[in-house]
Amino acid sequence: MRPELVERVRRRLAEEGTSVQPSAMAEAVRAEIGGVTTHGDMLRALRTVRQELVGLGPLEHLLSDPDVTDVLVSAPDQVWVDGHGGLRHSTVSFADEQAVRRLAQRLALTAGRRLDDAQPYVDGWLPQSCAQRPIRMHAVLPPVAADGTCLSLRVLHHTAYDLVELAERGTFDRPTKSLLEAIVTARLAFLVTGCTGSGKSTLLGALLAAVPAGERIVCVEDAGELRPGHPQFVRLLARQANVEGAGEITLRDLVRQALRMRPDRLVLGEVRGREVVDLLTALNTGHDGGACTVHANSPAEVPARLEALAALGGMDRDALHGQLAAAVQVVLHMRRRSDGGRALEDIGVLRRAGGGVEIVPAWRSGSWTEHRDLLTRALAHRGVGLT
């Protein structure tokens, strides 16, 4: 009777024009259950209705865990969580496939998006009124998702670490902390690369916190994930189109706006498309010390990755390599360990080679490589030495 009870309560609340408040739901549940019922039955029925009508449903307590970064639903009894310790199966389950579908559609509506048979997939951000922290949702309905509705929720954590704290957590050692501080002080432009969940944004935030307080940072993002402890950190957030397809503000739009805001350092939270053209153009107009994150499996693959993204913006390979060589000096590559921890794996330096740009490692897993002099010369050129 669970779906029928929920539907009756939903209809009663709609007919009465009552807001979905705990007291109103309790009255509606009591009226729909009818007859004599135990206090325990009433609480269970109210919990069921609440999970179906408001909030994040049965996933709410998983997403409130500060260690959880992702909640992934691939079937009613297949709810997985990712975070400290890696991916693991949870004890949470849904009544059936329709319960998963209803939650996905309700969350999509909350995010101002459409999810139905005509539009069977969606990507959006849940508002702060729905969750304590920003959550990015993605959902796919059958028959596109062949085995049932798939729902993916990514939690953005606002915990801001500095370089000292990351060293204490084992992301890198103390000597490497001093090297990273030297890169920031020298105003070398850098890319932070890595796979999903490797800690790219965490490292970028810590590096931005190390920027001198007298410098103004203007940051362009899809969501407000970066919140470094810096007194002059200005955030510009992109906006998706509404259900009518209007009102979109892209990262490219915001990069152009950022240039008019007198930035000492221009930062792009993540490069995923043609906005790379605007970023590289900006970094080649005297804006030293800029930064962004890029998804890449290794530093060596970064040029090819950026070639593909720049092509979306109409920039050919030769132009991309020319702009990249002039604008960016360092690549910092993050890796996720098997125990769920994050580590800085490589510090690479860009150099021209064979008519293009290649990235060679100057530092790897705590040790210098034979290309150390490329990085030390880049630092020395900006008047910064290593102790």
Report the SS3 class of residue 376: helix
As a whole number of angstroms, the distance between CA 304 and CA 44 comes to 55
pLDDT of residue 380: 95
Report the SS3 class of residue 331: strand
What is the 3-state composition of the chain as percent helix, strand, coil, each rounded to the nearest 5? 40, 25, 40
Q: What is the pLDDT along the chain (387 residues), one digit of tens a residue?
A: 455 666 666 666 655 555 556 666 666 666 666 654 666 666 666 566 566 556 788 898 898 888 888 999 999 999 999 987 788 999 999 988 998 998 999 899 888 888 999 999 998 888 765 666 778 899 999 999 999 999 999 987 766 789 999 999 999 999 999 999 999 999 999 999 999 889 999 999 999 999 999 999 999 998 778 889 899 999 999 987 776 778 889 999 999 999 999 999 999 999 999 999 999 999 998 889 999 999 999 999 999 999 999 999 999 999 999 999 999 999 999 998 877 789 999 999 999 988 899 999 999 998 999 999 999 999 999 999 886
pTM above 0.85, yes or no: no
CA angle 184, 188, 192 (to 5 degrees): 80
Report the SS3 class of residue 378: helix
Collect all residues with Cβ–Cβ distance below 8 Å to 178 and sequence separation of at least 6: 386, 387
As a whole number of angstroms, the distance between CA 79 and CA 378 comes to 48
pLDDT of residue 45: 60
Q: Which of 326, 332, 327, 321 is nearest to 358 (CA)?
A: 321
The CB-side HSE value for 347 (13 A sphere, CA atoms) comes to 26
